[in-house]
Amino acid sequence: MEETNKMEESNKQEEQTSTQKIGIYLWIWGLLFVLSFFSYMVDWYQFQGMLRWSLILFFMFLKAGLIMAFFMHLFWERYALVNVLLWPMTAIACFIFLMNAEFQYTLFSRFFYFVVGGA
């Protein structure tokens, strides 16, 4: 009986060391607030053009990375899981690249036929 109690005790201790310190979560939480505030400021001050787009993307990827790494624990997961999840994202990147070429062609044809009136 005493032995099982001891086992339970050691199990408990092991489990407790496997959770993260509360400080990490609070830090990430605070950072997410600050980054969201900054990305709101991008609109508030009406930055335009490349500055606006690069700032939006910078804050977006930083926030997404923090959420995935720490809130979703990917930072502490084994690479077998992390890589299975992250490599398929390259397919999305390819799709974005393809559709980017596609919308420019569509825009060109619309200008050419609707505005210019064709050749």
Q: Report the nearest approach of another protein to the CB of residue 76 (Å).
A: 5
Question: Per residue, what are the HEC states of 32-52?
Answer: HHHHHHHHHHHHHCCCCHHHH
Amino acid (one-letter) located at 61: F
Q: Which of 2, 4, 5, 19 binds another protein (CB under 8 A)?
A: 19
Site string for another protein, 32-61 (x = CB under 8 A): xx--x--xx-xxx-x-----xx--xx-xx-
Q: Which of 6, 8, 29, 51 binds another protein (CB under 8 A)?
A: 29
Q: Which of 50, 96, 116, 119 binds another protein (CB under 8 A)?
A: 96
DSSP state of 76: G
Return all residues near 63 (Cβ < 8 A) that are at least 6 apart: 32, 35, 36, 39
State yes or no: residue 114 binds another protein (CB under 8 A): yes
Please choose, from the candidates 13, 55, 59, 18, the residue with its C-alpha nearest in 3D space to the C-alpha of residue 35. 59
Integer Cα distance of 24 and 41 in angstroms: 26
DSSP state of 19: S
Q: Name the site residues for another protein (rule: CB under 8 A).
A: 12, 15-16, 18-20, 22, 25-26, 28-29, 32-33, 36, 39-40, 42-44, 46, 52-53, 56-57, 59-60, 63-64, 67-68, 70-73, 76-81, 83-85, 88-89, 92, 95-96, 99-100, 102-104, 106-107, 110-111, 114-115
